[in-house]
Amino acid sequence: MANGLVVSLRDISFSYQGSPRPALERINLDIKGGEFVLVTGPSGSGKTSLARLVTGLIPHSYPGNLSGSATVLGEDVAKSNVHTLAQKVGFVLQNPENQLFALTVEDDVAFGPENLALPREEIVDRVDWSLSLTGLQDQRLRPPFELSGGFQQRAAIAGILAMKPKLLVLDEPTSSLDSVAARNFVKFLTKLRSELQATAVVIEQRLELFYTVANRMLVIKEGSIAVDDNPLSALDYCLENKLQANYPASYLFWKRYGEQVQGARDKPVSEPSAYVGPILARGRR
């Protein structure tokens, strides 16, 4: 990490065993420490495969044909192993119930720190800290499988946080969360990044929540990076090239009416009322 890079991918291509089509194709990507990278793209475009590569699940748990070189937090992914990488990279899967197994939420969250062989007090502190950050204090003694989908997601995230990873890879972390929980999650992620000084790679379709807080956005299309830019420029590129993306409403209204709104020339305003005048004026014309 002498060069300050947390992730460095060079000419990465990967095909799952038995699949005729590459899941990732000639990916080149450098992510610096402290970045907040938003990753989006259609279903089946390769977003999750990218996350699996960064966490070492590709190639160690998903066999296939990998070429190119991948370095994550100083580890050569192909030569390292999932165990070593898991101590540095926190990965929250898309289906949280797949990573919950203990009989209580508390035990599930403690599992990671226990495996790091931390002192007991440290484990207790970390479990309390993770449960309070994710708002799960009241659920700590419940079996994870009885929780609703949204609470299961929080429990999976809590389990990862307790490891205090330097790189967080989150695959659609808010997809099962309600509106309040999703907003809180974004705030929490921002706070967490400053506390842990963690780098975040977040795969998301709910761009509205993230595009103003991420510093960078990747759009993946058919296994390749179609766009890599700051979120506003990346969305502009998608719009101009008619790429499929879940455009944030605040972005679309800004593109359409921003020029008629004071202070919205260079970037979207978060106050929807700013657009009421221009929309009604258009209706009257």
> In the complex with other proteins, which residue's Cβ is closer, 97 or 114?
97
Looking only at residues 215 through 244 of this chain, which bind other proteins when binding is defined by CB under 8 A?
244
> In the complex with other proteins, which residue's Cβ is closer, 198 or 234?
234
Among 1, 116, 141, 249, binds other proteins (CB under 8 A): 249
User: Total residues contacting other proteins (rule CB under 8 A)?
Assistant: 41
The stretch near other proteins (CB under 8 A) out of 6-14, 62-70, 81-89, 146-154 is 146-154
| Min CB(211)–other proteins separation in Å | 11
Whether the Cβ atoms of residue 250 and residue 268 lie closer than 8 Å to each other: yes
> In the complex with other proteins, which residue's Cβ is closer, 8 or 95?
95
For residue 156, state whether it binds other proteins (rule: CB under 8 A): no
For residue 205, state whether it binds other proteins (rule: CB under 8 A): yes
For residue 197, state whether it binds other proteins (rule: CB under 8 A): no
| Min CB(269)–other proteins separation in Å | 10
For residue 280, state whether it binds other proteins (rule: CB under 8 A): yes
> In the complex with other proteins, which residue's Cβ is closer, 75 or 172?
172
Among 43, 117, 119, 242, binds other proteins (CB under 8 A): 43
Whether the Cβ atoms of residue 3 and residue 71 lie closer than 8 Å to each other: no
Among 8, 13, 69, 94, binds other proteins (CB under 8 A): 94
Q: Which of 230, 281, 235 minimizes the C-alpha distance to 259? A: 281
Instruction: Reduce the secondary structure of the chain to three states and give it as a string.
Output: CCCCEEEEEEEEEEEECCCCCCCEEEEEEEEECCCEEEEECCCCCCHHHHHHHHCCHHHHCCCEEEEEEEEECCEECCCCCHHHHHCCEEEECCCHHHHCCCCCHHHHHHHHHHHCCCCHHHHHHHHHHHHHHCCCHHHCCCCHHHCCHHHHHHHHHHHHHCCCCCEEEEECCCCCCCHHHHHHHHHHHHHHHHHHCCEEEEECCCHHHHCCCCCEEEEEECCEEEEEECHHHHHHHHHHCCCCCCCCHHHHHHHHHHHHCCCCCCCCCCCHHHHHHHHHHHHHC
For residue 55, state whether it binds other proteins (rule: CB under 8 A): no
The stretch near other proteins (CB under 8 A) out of 39-47, 64-72, 160-168, 259-267 is 39-47
For residue 104, state whether it binds other proteins (rule: CB under 8 A): no
Site residues, other proteins (CB under 8 A):
41-44, 94-95, 147-151, 172, 175-181, 183, 205, 208, 244-250, 252-253, 256, 270, 272-273, 275-276, 279-280, 282-283
